[in-house]
Chain A
Amino acid sequence: MTEEATDTAEPVRTADLIELEGVEKVFDVRRRTGLVRREKTRVRAVDGISFTVPRGEMVGYIGPNGAGKSTTIKMLTGILTPSGGRLRVAGIDPSRERTRLARRIGVVFGQRTTLWWDLPLIDSYRLVHRMYRIPDARYRQNLERCVELLDLGALLDVPVRQLSLGQRMRGDIAAALLHDPEVLYLDEPTIGLDVVSKAKVREFLRDLNTERATTVLLTTHDLTDIEQLCKRVMVIDHGRLVYDGTLAGLHEVAPGERTLVVDLDRRLPPIEVAGARPVRVEGPRQWLAFPASASAAPIVAALAADYPLVDLSVREPDIESVIAKMYAERPTAP
């Protein structure tokens, strides 16, 4: 009864599941400047952010360290109260109804775990079952599905402390989904994972989004996550939204460069090859930059023909360099 009453008081007017309107978060940071004297400085971690995310969309939320990403996510889960602005998730004001919202959202922090460290994985799921009061049949069905898709079958009886990082992350993702959340916040879900684990996690998230229309907000440093999962990307820096659009559009406003790391069998002068320019030489190792939109294949072929190659790898542009580029290209940006 009460839940209905609250819902009519705050109707979900649109299909937008996440709504932010001029949201701010200001922290007072006290710093000791003398023996007793303290200086109070205000830090605007989030400085007037507005955006909406419609139901079923998968959005990348990126920015350099300290840009305000985690602060935004903490406000969206209700554990931080905004200093200003309006914020709604599924029609609920998170900080005022944290517990009610918790039943409708799932959260995965890549660097933290919600699982019981000393106990077998299955024990954590039993706890989630009780905590979110998932009906028994639904719980069994969801667990079965997660176990199958995330390949957890052999891990259920293993204590969490014995799991590898990739296994633990899959375990954490399952724990966040057993109660069928409408919104899933993922904070760096692929951080530290190997290539195979990354691919598994991404595939699972893609399926989840298409099958269940779960709305996903994804924070990451890995642009490949965004490339493979999100049509839309938002870039935050210094607490402000500096870009909101497609990933292709982001590359347009900030054409990134990829880096080819080349190991030669001896020290040589900087490599000269068409389509790339040398940026760094360190002994037999050299770094070549080339446009992110170009293919690496012809450059590699040319290199292999003319130079004594031992090894090489391609590095994607990281988010810091994309944003740095953004400022360089648009000096008027805030």
Chain B
Amino acid sequence: MRFGASAPDADIQRRFLPKEAVVRLYAVVAAGGFRRYATYRVATAAGVFTNTVFGFIMAYTYIALWDERPQLGGYDLSQAVTYVWLGQALLMTCAMMGGGFEDELIERIRTGDIAIDLYRPADLQLWWLAGDLGRAAFHLLGRGVVPLLLGALAFDLALPASPLPWLAFLTAVLLGVVVSFALRYLAALSAFWLMDGAGVLQITWLAGLFFSGMLLPLTLFPGALGELARLLPWSSLLQIPADVLLGKRTGWGLVHAYAFQVGWAAALLGAGRLVQSAATRRVVVQGG
């Protein structure tokens, strides 16, 4: 499905286009997304510094907490501290508190520059998804690796020694990024109706901060709130990848975790498509 009225044509095109060309286009977009963020080296260094400082603050807070209540949420102390540093490493990658394409997309909708994106022979959602995957790849390397290494130097972290858990973790991170993208895409598209996406972004920012498990692991919360928090899409962003790396999800548990992430990704991307086709029918007169 593409934009509203053009859907049948797009389907025909899709069938007759060499797949390779499509892959190539979005690969270039993703590479561009990566390099755009790679351009700003000082900003990256400043970000790494911030992540590391926050990592230390949160690690000591967690240590105090776990000292009082060992095995809180099913984690031992070393696992809890590992969880903190994973949170810092994935904060930008999974864009738990925003900071990806959404500000730019909202700005383009507001100014009418979105018109340019619409006459391109490319799909709007795939275009932004590819760009965001490129960004996430950069943030994982540029903003994720160093804080995690520094954390591992300063604390005794429960990191796996064999490559397989790491691979499982990276898969969960990739799926988390897609879920995160789909959420932010929906939030950004609201600008077509609201003209100012700031409020919606703040809500997603708050929701992301809490429901991803960034403040505290979601396994700590008892009762209905805990159940709800673990069922919402945001748990795909940090809670699930962290549990995969910490070995809490293996075998069928791992399959279940992936299925949960894939399910939310599909549902949210699908919703994004529906909203997109409604929105592009509204592309009206911004900027004449």
**B interface residues, tally (CB under 8 Å):** 37
B196 to chain A, nearest CB (A): 16
Structural contact, B5 and A109, CB atoms closer than 8 A: no
Among residues of B, the one whose C-beta sits closest to the C-beta of A185 is: B119
Q: Complex: how many Å from CA A328 to CA B198? A: 48
Q: Complex: how many Å from CA A119 to CA B13? A: 30
Say yes or no for B29: interface residue by CB 8 A criterion. Answer: yes
Structural contact, B118 and A79, CB atoms closer than 8 A: yes
Chain A stretch 108-123: residues in CB contact (< 8 A) with chain B:
109, 111-114, 116, 118-119, 123
Among residues of B, the one whose C-beta sits closest to the C-beta of A92 is: B9
Q: Complex: how many Å from CA A77 to CA B5? A: 14
Chain-A contact segment, one of B20-28, B164-172, B245-253: B20-28
Sampled A-B contacts (12; CB under 8 Å): A1-B16, A65-B288, A74-B283, A99-B6, A100-B13, A102-B119, A112-B116, A123-B32, A131-B120, A131-B122, A132-B121, A133-B21
Residues from chain B with a CB closer than 8 A to the CB of A95 are: 5-6
Say yes or no for B69: interface residue by CB 8 A criterion. Answer: no
For B16, give its contact among A2, A80, A96 (CB under 8 Å).
Answer: A2
Structural contact, A116 and B36, CB atoms closer than 8 A: yes
Structural contact, A119 and B115, CB atoms closer than 8 A: no
Structural contact, B113 and A112, CB atoms closer than 8 A: yes
Instruction: Decide: A103 near B29, CB < 8 A? Known: A2-B16, A66-B288, A111-B287.
Output: no
Instruction: Decide: A119 near B118, CB < 8 A? Known: A81-B5, A97-B6.
Output: no
Residues from chain B with a CB closer than 8 A to the CB of A66 are: 288
Q: Complex: how many Å from CA A212 to CA B40? A: 41
Residues from chain B with a CB closer than 8 A to the CB of A119 are: 32, 35-36, 39
Say yes or no for A78: interface residue by CB 8 A criterion. Answer: yes
For B112, give its contact among A1, A27, A112, A130 (CB under 8 Å).
Answer: A112
Instruction: Decide: A45 near B285, CB < 8 A? Known: A79-B118, A119-B35.
Output: yes
For B6, give its contact among A78, A80, A111, A159 (CB under 8 Å).
Answer: A78
Q: Complex: how many Å from CA A2 to CA B17? A: 11
**A interface residues, tally (CB under 8 Å):** 41
Say yes or no for A71: interface residue by CB 8 A criterion. Answer: yes
A: residues with CB less than 8 A from B are 1-3, 27, 45, 65-66, 69-71, 74, 77-81, 95-100, 102-103, 107, 109, 111-114, 116, 118-119, 123, 126-127, 130-133, 159
Say yes or no for B12: interface residue by CB 8 A criterion. Answer: yes
Structural contact, A130 and B6, CB atoms closer than 8 A: no
Structural contact, B3 and A98, CB atoms closer than 8 A: yes
Residues from chain B with a CB closer than 8 A to the CB of A74 are: 115, 283
Q: Complex: how many Å from CA A127 to CA B21? A: 12
A33 to chain B, nearest CB (A): 19
* Beyond known contacts A77-B119, A131-B121: 19 more, CB 8 A cutoff: A2-B16, A70-B287, A71-B288, A79-B283, A81-B5, A95-B6, A97-B6, A98-B6, A98-B9, A98-B118, A100-B13, A102-B119, A102-B121, A113-B116, A116-B32, A118-B40, A130-B25, A130-B28, A131-B28
